[in-house]
């Protein structure tokens, strides 16, 4: 684990699994483009995209008064840890903050990319649209309503605003399994995005395991 420091009391660490995934992504881009400079640009793109996304969660947590958090970049994304007992609508806003920040960053890059400064610099000319595309995709991906993605958490917190936690869990886990399965099939069959489809399929299986555990052991507090 590599500790990068902290911002406003929120610590930032990078697990070596994240470095490994970024390295694989850069290598894959090089295989496709045969342009090392373009491929290497993906390292800061992935780092900034995930970090800003997670920091948006941490910032919203702090704004609601739950203190500082701990951000860990690992695997294919990141996670923001914070021990809190928040209201459901607070948790809903906190979950949605990540994808919203990704969309805002994407639109900001598209807007700034139109300025002469960004069009004259060869690196920025490639970086800005790449950063915009990556964050637009990252925001949409995280809105899929299957846990552990932000969309899955947001779905559960939304129903928790009106229903018991137990009922909210049941509804959200079934939404995750159904919608996740449909999305995975569409991506695999019609888009040929096999890797992403496989990842979502794994999330669906994880939700199915949660459901099986619930049927066996019940919900905490039952």
pLDDT number for residue 139: 95
Same domain for 134 and 175, yes or no, is no
pLDDT number for residue 173: 95
Run of H or E including 81: strand 77-81
Tell me the pTM: 0.89
Mean pLDDT (the chain) is 89
Same domain for 82 and 17, yes or no, is yes
pLDDT number for residue 174: 96
Alpha-carbon distance of 97 to 59, in angstroms, equals 9
Same domain for 106 and 122, yes or no, is yes
pLDDT tens digits along 2-41: 888 888 889 999 999 999 988 888 888 887 777 778 888 8
pLDDT tens digits along 38-78: 888 899 999 999 999 999 999 999 999 999 999 999 887 89
User: Which of 113, 143, 173 is the last residue in one of the domains?
Assistant: 143
Q: Do residues 204 and 177 make contact, with C-beta atoms less than 8 angstroms apart?
A: yes
Same domain for 110 and 163, yes or no, is no
Same domain for 60 and 153, yes or no, is no
User: Which of 143, 167, 192 is the last residue in one of the domains?
Assistant: 143
Same domain for 17 and 121, yes or no, is yes
Same domain for 44 and 116, yes or no, is yes
Q: Which among 87, 92, 88, 94 has a CA at the least distance from the CA of 59? A: 94
Please list, in sequence order, all residues whose beta carbon lies within 8 angstroms of the beta carbon of residue 202, skipping any fewer than 6 positions away.
none
Backbone φ/ψ region at 208: left (φ over 0), alpha (ψ -120 to 50), beta: alpha
What is the residue whose two structure tokens read 């299986």? 205
How buried is residue 94: exposed, middle or buried, by Cβ count under 10 Å (0-12/13-18/19+)?
buried
pLDDT (average), residues 160-171: 93
User: Which of 128, 143, 158 is the last residue in one of the domains?
Assistant: 143
In Å, how far are 83, 107, 142, 156, 177 from 76, measured between CA atoms? 23, 23, 12, 23, 21
Q: What total number of domains does the chain contain?
A: 2
Residue 121 belongs to what domain range?
1-143
Same domain for 109 and 154, yes or no, is no
Same domain for 131 and 219, yes or no, is no
What is the residue whose two structure tokens read 């995975």? 184
């Amino acid at each position: 684990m590599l500790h990068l420091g902290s911002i406003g009391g929120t610590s930032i660490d990078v697990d070596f699994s994240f470095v490994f995934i970024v390295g694989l992504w850069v290598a894959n881009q090089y295989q496709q483009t045969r342009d090392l400079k373009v491929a290497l640009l993906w390292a800061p793109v992935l780092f900034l995209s995930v970090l800003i996304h997670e920091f948006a969660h941490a910032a919203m947590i702090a704004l609601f008064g739950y203190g500082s958090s701990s951000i860990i970049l690992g695997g294919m994304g990141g996670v923001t840890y914070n021990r809190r007992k928040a209201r459901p609508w607070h948790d809903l806003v906190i979950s949605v903050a990540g994808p919203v920040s990704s969309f805002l960053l994407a639109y900001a890059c598209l807007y700034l990319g139109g300025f002469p400064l960004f069009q004259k610099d060869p690196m920025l000319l490639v970086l800005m649209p790449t950063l915009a595309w990556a964050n637009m995709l990252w925001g949409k991906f995280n809105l899929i309503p299957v846990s552990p993605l932000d969309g899955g958490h947001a779905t559960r917190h939304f129903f928790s605003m009106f229903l018991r936690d137990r009922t909210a869990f049941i509804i959200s886990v079934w939404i995750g399994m159904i919608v996740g399965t449909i999305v995975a099939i569409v991506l695999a069959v019609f888009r040929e995005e096999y890797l992403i489809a496989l990842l979502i399929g794994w999330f669906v299986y994880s939700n199915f395991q949660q459901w099986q555990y619930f049927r066996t052991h019940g919900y905490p507090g039952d």
